[in-house]
Amino acid sequence: MKTIVIVPAYNEEKSIENVVKEIQKLEICDVVVINDCSKDNTSQIAKEAGANVVNLVNNLGIGGAVQTGYKYALENDYDYAVQIDGDGQHNPVYIKEMLEIANKNNADIVIGSRFIEKTGYKQTVLRKIGGDFISWLIKALSGKKIYDPLSGYRLVNRKVIEEFAKEYPYDYPEPETNLSMTLKGYKIEEVTMEMRQREFGSSFITPFTAIWYMIKVSIALIIERIVGGKKKKWYIT
């Protein structure tokens, strides 16, 4: 099984080297860092650490950066692609288990979930309410319960790589694609993972942005349910 780990990164010079080396220690997958027009030395450090690096000439945001990674995976004929963050919060050690579940259960997508079982992960009250609501909304719209619909730690197979390389949401990729792939009949499973605390930098989420994010994601999910697999030409900004 040919596997690639996609690491979208924007100004992650303090953490990207360790992320790349942790992935390399597994000795079961390649790694590509999608440098989303960083203003620091993310690209150079990632390259020196041994990663393949794709440098975007414009900042595309998380959706555009991740889709670039899926296009890379498709063009280089990978069987599986794993998406993890470049800030070091996602521990690559779970990739082996995710691959095993994908093969054993014929899952198209395997999500690294913080909430199937109780872990040491701590979140704010607003984040919990928002995540629970989006989980409930996805189930209401599709019938599928996804415990951690906002997780950016995911493994997908070749069929999904092809889907994501062709079309991928720019603004709310995880919840939107969890819903759209479920509606298309793809099998999604979750595996418990322990998310680490961010060592460098800080989250952009504030109480106001958390509420606004939840509202916009909810609208996007409802639109996704209405239009189904039709190509969307606009986004909520």
Cβ-based neighbour number of residue 226 at 10 Å: 9
The total number of structural domains in the chain stands at 1
**Domain contains 56:** yes
Query: How many Å apart are CA 189 and CA 154, to the nearest integer?
Result: 10
Domain CATH code at residue 130: 3.90.550.10
140 CB-contact burial (10 Å; exposed 0-12 / middle 13-18 / buried 19+): exposed
What is the predicted pLDDT for the residue at 212? 79
**Domain contains 236:** no
**Domain contains 232:** no
Residue 6 φ/ψ region, left for φ over 0, alpha for ψ in the -120 to 50 degree band, beta for the rest: beta
CB within 8 Å of 26: residues ≥ 6 apart: 92, 93, 95, 96
**Domain contains 237:** no
- Cα–Cα distances in Å, from 97 out to 105, 138, 220? 12, 25, 31
Spatial contact of 11 and 45, defined as CB atoms under 8 Å apart: no
- Please give the model's pTM, rounded to 2 decimal places: 0.88
**Domain contains 45:** yes
SS3 call for 155: strand
Domain range for 77 is 3-227
**Domain contains 148:** yes
**Domain contains 130:** yes
Task: Going residue by residue through the chain, which has 237 residues, state the pLDDT in tens, using 9 for 90 and above.
Answer: 899 999 999 999 999 999 999 999 999 999 999 999 999 999 999 999 999 999 999 999 999 999 999 999 999 999 999 999 999 999 999 999 999 999 999 999 999 998 887 666 666 677 788 889 999 999 999 999 999 999 999 999 999 999 999 999 988 899 999 999 999 999 999 999 988 766 565 555 566 677 878 888 899 899 989 887 554 433 333
**Domain contains 234:** no
